[in-house]
Amino acid sequence: MSRELRHLKSLENARRILWEALPARLREGRFSGRPTAISEAVGLALVEDVICPTDLPPFDRSIMDGYAVRAEDTFGASEGLPAYLKLVGQVVMGEEPTISLSHQQTAGIPTGGMLPTGADAVVMVEHTQPWGEDTAEVLRPVAPGENVVRRGDDVKEGEIILSAGHRLRPQDVSALAGLGIAEVMVRRARVGVLSTGSELVPHTEDAPPGRIRDMNGPALQAAVRSHAGEPVDLGIVTDEPDAIRSALARGLTGVDLLLVSGGTSVGVEDVIREIIDSLGEPGVLVHGLAVKPGKPVIIGLVGEVPIFGMPGHPTSCLIIFRELVAPILRTECPERAGAQETVEATLTRNFASQAGREEFLPVLLEETEGGYAATPLLGPSALISTLVRANGLVRVPAAAEGLYAGDDVEVEPL
């Protein structure tokens, strides 16, 4: 192992150090609560119990089209000996009935209609026959409460409808809508994303000669979103220590995690390291990984907020996101980011690797007659083209000195 690799942590060690230092809140996915419209909250976990604010249904309702009755008036009715009830009105859907039923009276009622005062049951329309304009012929008896949902039968005021930690499903949205609860507090990781680099301009702007557009900011925001997190765009700052310091200090407020990418210029990595240490305890936990790409990674913790100094190289940056940041977000939404399945493939070219550090090799995975072929995509000379062509990653273990054409490799599809 070369001297320069000796102080670097393996990815596994770094992950262990990070996980042990991580506040329990984050380890368990208890991210910041955010008020969210119910129809946008599916898949997210509730911060607190949802209590039923009112009896449901809020009034006695019919569950059939038919006639509202006093059940006792139908006792003994049959096809041979129907009960004849005086039709005193019609309940209109969506309106509070003004009718009140006395002995031997009835009113037409639609499914979902509110039961008029005096009524305690509904006879299905199929079990009646018209008999003149103001009489209904009832052919079967009903018991009190039949074809009726009583106020509070469904849920009673004060009952817990959904418990804290429950992840919302469409049917829960339906229930919440019925209760008139339009917003809920759900857990969603807020992840600050800051890019540093005097050469950077926003990706929405033209880059004058000598400058380039920020790629890591938008890519990290996309990666956060695809793990159900909420990115907080902290913009771009120059490589000056004061600019970085104040952006990080500001960025710490109100986020669960903070990502700062860039720092490719000489010395900026150490500047970021010093700033993290100065912002609060415990400060930097890991500086430098025995991983290629990813050597310049910094992992810090300021109070309860983990800060990740991400590599400036776009591929490295996203690989480190995947290996170190995504597992934290995944605790929130496991079903959206399950364990990575691998594909077995045959390597098409030799690939030299430095022993002593783990390496992630972007490959082009292609189907062949016999199975899959993986072609290494290498070199800083193919930055964007590598990004878009790579559809797999091969992990080269730290002990290996390389891979050979014809080797069987496990490829994680990208």
How many residues bind its own copies (CB under 8 A)? The answer is 92
Regarding 265 and contact with its own copies (CB under 8 A), the answer is yes
> Nearest approach, Cβ of 343 to its own copies (angstroms)?
15
Residue identified by tokens 């691998």 is 342
194 binds its own copies, rule: CB under 8 A: no
- In DSSP notation, 6-48 reads TTPBPHHHHHHHHHHHS-HHHHTT---EEEEEGGG-TTPEESS
Choose, by CB under 8 A, the member of 21, 149, 243, 378 that binds its own copies.
149
* Nearest to 9, CA basis, from 242, 357, 363, 330: 357
Q: Which of residues 365-404 bind its own copies (CB under 8 A)?
A: 380-385, 387-388, 390
Q: Token match 């609860």: residue?
A: 181
What are the respective helix, strand and coil percentages of the chain, to the nearest 5?
25, 35, 45
Does residue 162 belong to the site contacting its own copies (CB under 8 A)? yes
* 218, 196 contact by CB (below 8 A): no
**Of positions 40, 49, 79, 304, contacts its own copies by CB under 8 A:** 40
Residue 1 interacts with its own copies (CB under 8 A)?
A: no
Listed ranges 243-251, 263-271, 276-284, 370-378: which one lies at the site for its own copies (CB under 8 A): 263-271
Sites for its own copies among residues 276-335 (CB under 8 A): 314-315, 317-318, 321
Among 55, 137, 154, 407, binds its own copies (CB under 8 A): 154
Distances (CA, A) of 277 to 17, 59, 270, 280, 301: 16, 62, 11, 6, 9
Give min distance, CB of 159 to its own copies, in A: 8
Residues 6+ positions from 213 with CB-CB distance below 8 Å: 200, 201, 202, 203, 205, 207
Q: Name the one range near its own copies by CB under 8 A: 205-213, 286-294, 364-372, 396-404.
A: 205-213
Nearer to its own copies, 269 or 302 (CB): 269
Q: Which of residues 75-134 bind its own copies (CB under 8 A)?
A: 92-97, 110-114, 125
Nearer to its own copies, 243 or 249 (CB): 243
Between CA 44 and CA 257 the distance in angstroms is: 18
Q: Kindly tell me which of 233 and 407 has the beta carbon lying closer to its own copies.
A: 233
Q: How far apart are CA 269 and CA 195, in angstroms?
A: 13
Q: Which of 91, 89, 93, 87 is nearest to 129 (CA)?
A: 87
